[in-house]
Amino acid sequence: MKFWQPLKEMNWASRFGFFVVSLFGLCAIFAPWLAPYGQSQIVGDVWEPLFGKFVFGTDQIGRDMLSMLIYGARNMIALALLTTAFAFGLGALLGFLAAIMRGWVDQVLSRFVDIIISIPTLIFALIVLSSTGTSVFALVTVIAIIYAMPVYRIARAVAMDIEVMDFVEAARLRGEGLWWIMCKEILPNALTPLAAEFGLRFCFVFLLISGLSFLGLGLQPPLADWGAMVRGNSDGIAWGYLHPLVPATCIALLTIGINLIVDSAVQKASGLRDDQ
Site for another protein in 25-54 (CB under 8 A): none
User: Minimal distance in Å, beta carbon 175 to another protein?
Assistant: 39
Selected from 13, 46, 81, 93, the binder of another protein by CB under 8 A is: 13
Per-position x/- string for 129-168, each x denoting binding to another protein as judged by CB under 8 A, each - no binding: xxxxx-----------------------------------
Give 143's contacts (C-beta < 8 A, 6+ positions apart): 83, 87, 125, 205, 208, 209, 212
Q: Which is nearer to another protein, 134 or 189 (CB)?
A: 134
Selected from 61, 127, 165, 269, the binder of another protein by CB under 8 A is: 127
Per-position x/- string for 179-218, each x denoting binding to another protein as judged by CB under 8 A, each - no binding: ------------------------x---x--xx--xxxx-
237 binds another protein, rule: CB under 8 A: yes
120 binds another protein, rule: CB under 8 A: yes
Cβ count within 10 A of residue 127: 12
Q: Which is nearer to another protein, 71 or 204 (CB)?
A: 204
* 250/135 Cα distance (integer angstroms): 24
Angstrom distances, CA of residue 227 to CA of 10, 22, 65, 119, 137: 31, 21, 13, 23, 18
Per-position x/- string for 243-262, each x denoting binding to another protein as judged by CB under 8 A, each - no binding: -xx--xx-xx--xx-xxx--
Rounded (10°) angle between helices 226-233 and 65-101? 130
Q: b/e map of 40-76 (b: 16 or more CB within 10 Å)?
A: eeeebeebbebeeebebbbbbebbbbbbbbbbbbbbb
Considering only 57-65, 117-125, 152-160, 183-191, which stretch makes contact with another protein by CB under 8 A?
Answer: 117-125
115 binds another protein, rule: CB under 8 A: yes
Q: Give the number of residues in contact with another protein, rule: CB under 8 A.
A: 46
Binding site for another protein (CB under 8 A): 13, 114-115, 118-120, 122-123, 126-133, 203, 207, 210-211, 214-217, 227, 230, 234, 237-238, 240, 242, 244-245, 248-249, 251-252, 255-256, 258-260, 263, 274-276
